Amino acid sequence: MATPRRRIFWPTLVLVCTGILAFLALIQSWALRQDNLPLQAGDVASQDLHAPRDIQYVSEVLTEQARDAAERAVAPVYGAPDPAIGRAQTDQLNLLLQQISAIRDDEVEITFEQKLIDLAALRDPPIPNNSASFLLTLPPERWDLVRSEAVSLLGRTMRSAVRTEDLDTIRQGLASLVSFTLSEEEAALVVELLSPLVTANSFYSPELTDAARQAARDAVEPVTQSYLEGQAVVLRGQLVTDVIFEALTQAGLVQPKDPLYEYLGAAVVVTISAMLAALYFFRRQAELLADLRGLLLLAGMFLVFLFAARVAIPNRTLLPYLIPVPAFALLVSALFGLERGMIFGLLMSVLTAYGMPDSLALMPYSLKPTGSGLPPCSARRFCMASPLRQLSCRCNTCWHSSLALPPRCNCSKSPVPTAPCSITSSNAPLAPTSTVYRLPTWLSRPLNASARIPS
């Protein structure tokens, strides 16, 4: 005779092993048609993936791309023209013109060639010889016009923004800004005198540029992306871009990098299911713990149905409603009794639908046949009472069930009844059924009186 400790050890071991395998069934990543793949941006999709439901989300990738485009469209921002630079350059021009006038008006006997040498030494780069020769031969009144126009033109030029990258363009355009009262030679002399003095007075401002770019980014509205149920998110052989990867993530079609919470959720569901099964066996049906063969058969059927459903259901539309998950509850009811069929049918329905995209619709669909099925009779004597009066009665020779909820069920009180079970009302009994269902003797074992559920 087995000791109480040994009687508890083997059922506990079966329960623990079944729980571990059920946990693996919930977190396994392979399926006939996987609903999520271990994809990353830059991979090539190995199969078509469609949106399991209507989804709409704010695309961080598209929003960031729009913000980057708006930021790139912002031109570099330069500071305002520095007036101090304009004044300094004007002072240099006035000093140069005074020195040139001094050389022109020098009455000391200096040769023309010496004056050319003196003009060339005034600045770097030197004034070309042809311009210097023309300058020395100008009449005083024309020289005064050249001086006045040079100062005026430099002032107008330095009041506007002059950037380093625009210096060549501005210097080349000086000739078109010279007054038309001067001849071409005099205009060329004006340009020659002030062109080296035109310098940058507006410089790139990182602070202003960053502020303008940030303002452009903030002005971009979030980009919304949407997919209809069944719409292709990625096709087989297509490169997974950042936009597609984000859509797959939002639709739950890719495996997360850190599945910690997924594993914790599956572990909690399996633990609660195992605790319910343990409470059922250890408190409600304690005598059944001795039937190790029955427990192994029940655990094996549970795992087979669970793995089959978890492998076949993902990424399907109609197949989840065609897989005979309720058949597990009916089979357990036929072999082990209605109560166990309902308990383990409930656990099967919960674990099968857990984590599926349409779990809220799939779970009630699997639960409904579990409570309304008609399991056949076994060779045991078992009457079950329902809180809603008495729903059903099962004897060792027959089975009756009525959806009209009969008020009372009468079963034979003898261990081996000689008459079939009958369902009676408060007025008159119904005729016994003419159909008798029997199971093989290896599945039939009478329960002790203490295991019966009172009617």
Q: Share the mean pLDDT of the chain.
A: 75
pLDDT value for 402: 33
Q: Which amino acid is at 39?
A: L
The whole-angstrom separation of Cα 103 and Cα 117 is: 10
Provide, for the chain, the percentages of residues in helix, strand and coil under a 3-state DSSP scheme, each rounded to the nearest 5.
55, 10, 40
More confident residue, 259 or 105: 105
pLDDT value for 427: 41
pLDDT value for 306: 87
Q: What angle, rounded to 10 degrees, do the helices at 112-120 and 83-104 form?
A: 170
Instruction: Provide the pLDDT confidence category of residue 224 given band limits of 50, 70 and 90.
Output: very high
The whole-angstrom separation of Cα 178 and Cα 171 is: 12
Is the pTM higher than 0.75?
A: no
Instruction: Provide the pLDDT confidence category of residue 118 given band limits of 50, 70 and 90.
Output: confident
The whole-angstrom separation of Cα 251 and Cα 262 is: 15
More confident residue, 286 or 432: 286
pLDDT value for 253: 76
pLDDT value for 315: 57
The whole-angstrom separation of Cα 305 and Cα 301 is: 6
Q: Would the pLDDT of 426 be above 60?
A: no
The whole-angstrom separation of Cα 422 and Cα 61 is: 69
For residue 278, give both structure tokens.
């343990």
User: To the nearest 10°, the Cα dihedral for 131, 133, 136, 138?
Assistant: -70
The mean per-residue pLDDT over the stretch 63-67 comes to 93
For residue 358, report the phi and psi dihedrals to the nearest 5 degrees: -110, 45
Residue 24 DSSP SS3: helix
pLDDT value for 153: 93
For residue 234, report the phi and psi dihedrals to the nearest 5 degrees: -150, 145
Instruction: Provide the pLDDT confidence category of residue 69 given band limits of 50, 70 and 90.
Output: very high
The whole-angstrom separation of Cα 379 and Cα 394 is: 9
Instruction: Provide the pLDDT confidence category of residue 444 given band limits of 50, 70 and 90.
Output: very low
For residue 340, give both structure tokens.
């166990």
The mean per-residue pLDDT over the stretch 284-310 comes to 78
Residues in the chain: 455
Q: Count of CB atoms within 10 A of residue 188's CB? A: 16
The whole-angstrom separation of Cα 339 and Cα 371 is: 10
Q: Would the pLDDT of 66 be above 70?
A: yes
Query: Which stretches of 261-407 are assigned E, i.e. beta strand?
Result: 382-384, 392-394, 399-401
DSSP letter (8 states) at residue 398: -
For residue 238, report the phi and psi dihedrals to the nearest 5 degrees: -85, 145
Give me the DSSP letters along 430-451: PPPPS------GGG--PPPGGG
